[in-house]
Amino acid sequence: MSREGGADPMRPRASLRTAVVWEVLRDALDRQAKAAGRDVLDVLDTGGGTGNFAVPVARLGHRVTVVDPSPDALFALERRAAEAGLTDRVRGVQGDAHGLLDVVEPGGYDAVLCHGVLEYVDDPAEGVRNVVSTLRPSGTLSLLAASRHGAVLARAIAGHFAEAQHSLTDPDGRWGAGDPVPRRFTAEDLTRLVEGAGLRVGPVHGVRVFADLVPGVLVDTEPGAFDALLRLELAAAEQPAFHSIATQLHVLAERG
């Protein structure tokens, strides 16, 4: 199976935000395919939008169904898949996590991506349960959500100290009324949600540990800085000590 699917999420600057998730996901799909004894997997991408992950996953040879509430995003997904010559592997369906089982088959997928969804659903526990119900008995969940403590650090570094303090105690990890993110999570929160849905939690990674803190002009102009920062992100992501300062948290989980 080709590994060229890393092209979209890995280059250029987007790689600093997606490299960790992509590396973990790609390896998980490889293991899943070997365990299933087939090269082509059925993958569900909930909230997949315009296909930032769906199209690269399809390039690996898998069939991807994207569920998203936005018609505009699904139109862009269709166009993107066509430009990549992947219309036979990428399918868009309008829907959301709450009504997921109304638009996709329960137990029909080898892997499901739930990236940037739990922050916006009314009931995160229900959202995770719905997503998990679409997995086959040996399926894999890739869960990505905003980090509560990373937001505290980001507001403090930006000089918004009152907002940073507010996010420390707010039940949803919000820094104020103007916060565009409805809720954020700790690694413990996500682990509890995943285990409550009956999955076994695997690796937890911090995503965008440094990428959102380093000035963009440094990364763009200093020779070798981009690649060095990318290597640092990949190395730090595995260290639990850095989970609390990451912008996002990624959890990989499996049935069984």
Q: Tens digits of per-residue pLDDT, 133-183?
A: 999 999 999 999 999 999 999 999 999 999 999 999 999 999 999 999 999
pLDDT tens digits for range 215-252? 877 777 888 888 899 899 999 999 999 998 999 999 99
Distances in whole angstroms, Cα of residue 194 to Cα of each of 33, 89, 104, 136, 209: 22, 28, 20, 16, 23
Q: Provide the pLDDT for residue 76.
A: 97
- Residue 115: beta bridge partners? 144
Q: Is a pLDDT exceeding 90 seen at residue 6?
A: no
* Residue 4 pLDDT class (50, 70, 90 cuts): very low
* Element of type H or E holding 175: none
Mean pLDDT of 5-24: 67
| Interstrand relation of 42-46 and 109-115 (parallel, antiparallel or unpaired) | parallel
| Cα–Cα distance measured from residue 186 to residue 205, given in angstroms and rounded to the nearest whole number | 12
Distances in whole angstroms, Cα of residue 60 to Cα of each of 7, 24, 119, 185: 11, 14, 28, 31
Q: Provide the pLDDT for residue 15.
A: 74
Q: Is a pLDDT exceeding 80 seen at residue 14?
A: no
Average pLDDT value for the chain: 91
Encoding tokens for residue 68? Answer: 């998203």
* Residue 214 pLDDT class (50, 70, 90 cuts): confident
